[in-house]
């Protein structure tokens, strides 16, 4: 295998995970191109790319893939169809499937969508999952090999670790998506019941929502208007977010499963490591995990946070325990350090493809 690879990322729209992987791979000397529909969320990824190809439909994507310029194609899911297009048109180039979420766990798939997910898992040359738990789920559900767990770690070298003085009082922060109750299929993003009880415990609750939409966040707006302890912050740039979060004591990593009854969806929620978990540790905020077994066991294993097995225990931790100390060395959760495992997966995928062609 060549020491430096030419890699094509395929993603409907590059997300934080794609950005982090691109930065880390670029630092190792690899060349990265991107095929996407748009690039609005993370325009800075352009600083780490050679070429960008925009496609309007899957026929155009297939034409891009068939150019055959790459040593490996790294295709991100959600949706799965771009990966299927890559597999069907890549020829001698291996395709690696980066599965952010197993769509078939979060929702029931039928027909073509179900078959697409099978193709991605069973006909790609390598698979990347976000946790070891999801690796085991993939092995149980599909015929897979050459599979890697690569959580969405931080770019430790890219961001300054600024430590503000902690605010007086008891302050918890949540960053990410939040919705009112009864908004399927994301009922687990209803954090209002948690926030209301925290405020009733005289806690300051700080929320940085990933997207503000009053139509589906009215309960939080009402809580802000009725309590001086609930703080609905504006969306801020990522570096500023890491800076601001350092002044809070706790960080919430949780799901509301009250309205979730399907076993597959519960399995999904207990199998992931949310990006915010690593951001909290990076910022010097002590994570408290609830309704996420994989994340809870991760914070316990690394000694960086608390895993609450019940809502009552979560509130007890937040009101009566001391936060765990600041983590000085965070290289264990750096994308730069762990990206070498992805290089190894690429190598196996390329050798696997070469061996197949030599037999033919």
Q: Could you tell me the residue ranges of all domains in the chain?
A: 6-156+335-359, 171-320
Contact 298, 272 (CB under 8 A): no
How far from the centroid of its chain's Cα atoms is residue 272's Cα? 8
The predicted-structure confidence for 23-67, as pLDDT tens digits, reads as follows: 999 999 999 999 999 999 899 999 999 999 999 999 999 999 999
Report angle CA 69, 72, 74 to the nearest 5 degrees: 115
User: Are the folds of 6-156+335-359 and 171-320 the same?
Assistant: yes
The predicted pLDDT at position 107 comes to 84
- Long-range contacts, 122-125 (Cβ 8 Å, 24+): 123/87, 124/75, 124/83, 124/87, 124/95, 124/96, 124/97, 125/94, 125/95, 125/96, 125/349, 125/350, 125/352, 125/353
User: For residue 213, what pLDDT band results from cuts at 50, 70 and 90?
Assistant: very high
Is residue 280 predicted with pLDDT exceeding 60?
A: yes
The predicted pLDDT at position 108 comes to 85
Average per-residue pLDDT for the chain: 95
The predicted-structure confidence for 148-164, as pLDDT tens digits, reads as follows: 999 999 999 988 898 99
189 secondary structure, DSSP code: G
User: Both tokens of residue 165?
Assistant: 């003085």
270 secondary structure, DSSP code: T
Is residue 89 predicted with pLDDT exceeding 60?
A: yes
- Evaluate the CA torsion angle 243, 245, 249, 254 in order and state its sign: negative
Q: 171-320 in CATH: which number?
A: 3.40.50.2000
Is residue 69 predicted with pLDDT exceeding 70?
A: yes
The predicted-structure confidence for 325-355, as pLDDT tens digits, reads as follows: 999 999 999 999 999 999 999 999 999 887 6
Is residue 198 predicted with pLDDT exceeding 90?
A: yes
> In a 3-state reduction of DSSP, which class is residue 182?
coil
User: For residue 2, what pLDDT band results from cuts at 50, 70 and 90?
Assistant: low
Is residue 356 predicted with pLDDT exceeding 80?
A: no
User: Both tokens of residue 360?
Assistant: 């033919």
The predicted-structure confidence for 104-147, as pLDDT tens digits, reads as follows: 888 888 999 999 999 999 999 999 999 999 999 999 999 999 99
Mean pLDDT across 93-100? 96
Is residue 183 predicted with pLDDT exceeding 80?
A: yes
Is residue 101 predicted with pLDDT exceeding 90?
A: no
The DSSP secondary structure of 296-319, one letter per residue, reads HHHHHHHTSSEEESSHHHHHHHHH
Fold of 6-156+335-359: Rossmann fold (3.40.50)
Is residue 360 predicted with pLDDT exceeding 90?
A: no
- Measured CA to CA, the distance from residue 13 to residue 38 in angstroms comes to 5
Is residue 359 predicted with pLDDT exceeding 60?
A: no
């Amino acid at each position: 295998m060549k020491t430096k690879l030419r890699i094509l990322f395929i993603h409907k729209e590059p997300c934080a995970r794609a950005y982090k992987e691109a930065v880390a791979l670029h630092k190792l000397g690899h060349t990265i191109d991107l095929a996407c529909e748009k690039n609005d969320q993370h325009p800075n990824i352009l600083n780490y790319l050679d070429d960008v190809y925009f496609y309007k439909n899957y026929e155009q994507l297939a034409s891009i893939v068939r150019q055959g310029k790459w040593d490996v194609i790294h295709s991100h899911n959600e949706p799965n169809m771009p990966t299927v297009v890559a597999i069907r048109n890549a020829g001698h180039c291996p395709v690696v499937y980066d599965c952010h979420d197993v769509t078939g766990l979060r929702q029931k798939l039928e027909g073509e969508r179900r078959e697409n997910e099978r193709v991605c898992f069973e006909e790609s040359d390598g698979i990347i999952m976000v946790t070891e738990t999801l690796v085991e789920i993939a092995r149980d559900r599909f015929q897979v090999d050459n599979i890697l767990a690569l959580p969405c770690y931080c770019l430790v070298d890219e961001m300054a670790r600024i430590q503000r003085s902690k605010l007086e009082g008891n302050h918890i922060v949540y960053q990410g998506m939040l919705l009112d109750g009864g908004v399927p299929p994301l009922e687990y993003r209803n954090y209002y019941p948690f926030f209301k009880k925290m405020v009733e415990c005289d806690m300051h609750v700080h929320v940085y929502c990933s997207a503000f939409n009053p139509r589906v966040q009215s309960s939080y707006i009402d809580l802000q208007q009725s309590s001086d302890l609930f703080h609905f912050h504006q969306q801020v740039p990522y570096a500023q977010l890491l800076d601001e979060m350092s002044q809070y004591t706790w960080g919430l990593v949780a799901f509301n499963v009250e309205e979730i009854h399907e076993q597959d969806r519960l399995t999904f929620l207990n199998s992931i490591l949310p990006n915010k978990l690593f951001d909290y540790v990076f910022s010097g905020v002590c994570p408290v995990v609830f309704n996420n077994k994989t994340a809870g066991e991760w914070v316990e294993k690394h000694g960086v946070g608390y895993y609450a097995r019940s809502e009552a225990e979560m509130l007890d931790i937040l009101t009566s325990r001391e936060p765990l100390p600041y983590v000085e060395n965070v290289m264990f959760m750096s994308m730069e350090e762990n990206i070498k495992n992805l290089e190894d997966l690429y190598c196996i995928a390329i050798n696997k493809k070469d061996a197949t062609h030599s037999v033919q």
